[in-house]
Structure 1
Amino acid sequence: MALLAGVALGAGVLSGCGVASGDAGIAVPTFAADESGNDGGGAEPIPIALPTDCAQLMDPEQAGALFGQALGSVSVQTVRGVPAPSVNRTERTACTYRAGGQQNAFGAGARNSGPELYHLNIGRYGDTASANRQWQLNTNAERSNAIGSRDITVGTVPGVLIERPDETTLAMVYGVDTLTFVLPVAAPGQSRPAAETLPDLAQRILPALAPTQPPAARPTAAPAAPAGTPEAGAPAPQAGRAAGTPAGTT
């Protein structure tokens, strides 16, 4: 909480992430390997940059269906961040999906005031080493004040699930991108455990990011499609906070 491009989906995914919170019949899209540079025959190449509109990653109608919201009641706000040369971050995009009422004003400053379904921060880095380093820094900081955390994988993509009283966060690293999904406990239509909903969202977002990354850094595998009887993913390397490690940002 899409752009039809990416790489083939593998097998094996975190337990329970094959069912949507709202419409259980919404399948995770598949992406052919030979389409990694195009979104259709004769189409323009996919830009090597983060999408400037979050609806390219997940359409508001799909998000609404996943959370069981009425047709046309979900909107998405896209906020573009600035580079952070000190950590080799080249871009940043924040996506907020909200339910109920669309926007309460028009023109300059119009905002959606409905309750939040989920929030996503994406940071893009100059190379995979920088992305991994920042992901470790972020997760170490996030663990420090959480009520619980554990390492997971979505397909082959490592992540850390961090629980707090009012929200659950899934922090991931994928090629040259770091992603932080935030699911409020009070999200409308959230009928499943966050440990199922967040990986399900990740499976739908990650494949759209792969073809937007530099070819040399492009991930070779995307999250697995849901299976009828999924198995728990293998744990990612522990990212416990080291003494004196400062907090980081996506």
Structure 2
Amino acid sequence: MRALLVGALALAIGGCGTSGAESTAVPTFPSSDGAGPATAAADDGRVIPADCGRILGAPDLEAVMGLPLGSVAVRTTIGVPQPAVGRTERVSCRYTRAGDGGGRPLLDVNATAYLDEAAAYAQWQVNVRAESGDRRDVPLGSAPGVLFEKRGQAMLMVAHSTSNLTLVLPDQPLPGGKSRADALVDLALRVLPAVAVTPSSTAPPQQAPQPGREPQVGASG
């Protein structure tokens, strides 16, 4: 699946908003200055790893953002299921400068898993409709994605199989003239293989029972 997603990078870049933090979040794990073990076993059948170091390791973010090795810390927050919209898992990741005491984030990532593809896609549509800013469709292979850009930040929202992914990138210097869209697509392609199961079909489903807007990560995914 990584090969498919990486193959879509050039098209996604060429083609080429956030909600309040969720009040139902539960345990938060201590910050870490590095990534978790790459070969760690699955979390008791979870779709979304319970360790953000296995969703996006600090070295990956440092590489994309042109930051020194060991300069990024990550904080993991585990959310609770939300049966009303078919959500079974939620993990939020906040990446900050190491040693800054959890200050302004470098990146926020929100990954969620659902009972089936229909529930995931319907909730993604609800969340996309609720966002604001300059909107652009940015599909990553067969995974629909939408980029929102506005003053102060950019957000990429992706639906893939039974999972949804939201990345929020605050304005900050980027290396080599890289745009916010370029950085978000690069990061999403690194994250998706860790948070999504293999889709049963390439066409997104069109039906799901009574979804409601789901809070995302960041200042306003």
TM-score by length of 1: 0.64
- Distance of 1:53 and 1:194 partners within structure 2: 25
- Distance of 2:12 and 2:41 partners within structure 1: 37
Matches within 5 A, 1:70-109: 70-99=68-97, 102-103=98-99
Partner of 1:152: 138
- Distance of 1:183 and 1:85 partners within structure 2: 29
- Distance of 1:221 and 1:205 partners within structure 2: 20
Shift of 1:189: 5.3
User: In 2 relative to 1, CA 140–76 (structure 1 residues): closer, same or farther, beyond 3 Å?
Assistant: same
User: Which structure 1 residue ranges, 5 or more long, are not aligned?
Assistant: 1-6, 19-38, 105-110, 223-235, 238-244
Please identify, of 163-172 and 189-198, the stretch whose mean Cα deviation from structure 2 is larger.
189-198
User: Which structure 2 residue ranges, 5 or more long, are not aligned?
Assistant: 15-37, 205-210, 217-221
- Distance of 2:71 and 2:41 partners within structure 1: 31
Higher alpha-carbon Rg = 1
2:9–2:189 Cα contact (<8 Å) kept:
no
Shift of 1:221: 9.3
1:150–1:161 Cα contact (<8 Å) kept:
yes
Partner of 1:25: none
Matches within 5 A, 1:38-187: 47-49=44-46, 50-99=48-97, 102-103=98-99, 111-113=101-103, 115-142=104-131, 145-146=132-133, 148-186=134-172
The RMSD of aligned alpha carbons is 3.0
Partner of 1:31: none
SS in 1 for 2:111: strand
TM-score by length of 2: 0.72
Where do 4+ consecutive residues of structure 1 move more than 2 Å?
A: 10-18, 43-48, 186-191, 218-222, 245-250
- Distance of 2:61 and 2:213 partners within structure 1: 31
Among candidates 207, 213, 218, match of residue 193 of structure 2: 207
SS in 2 for 1:9: helix
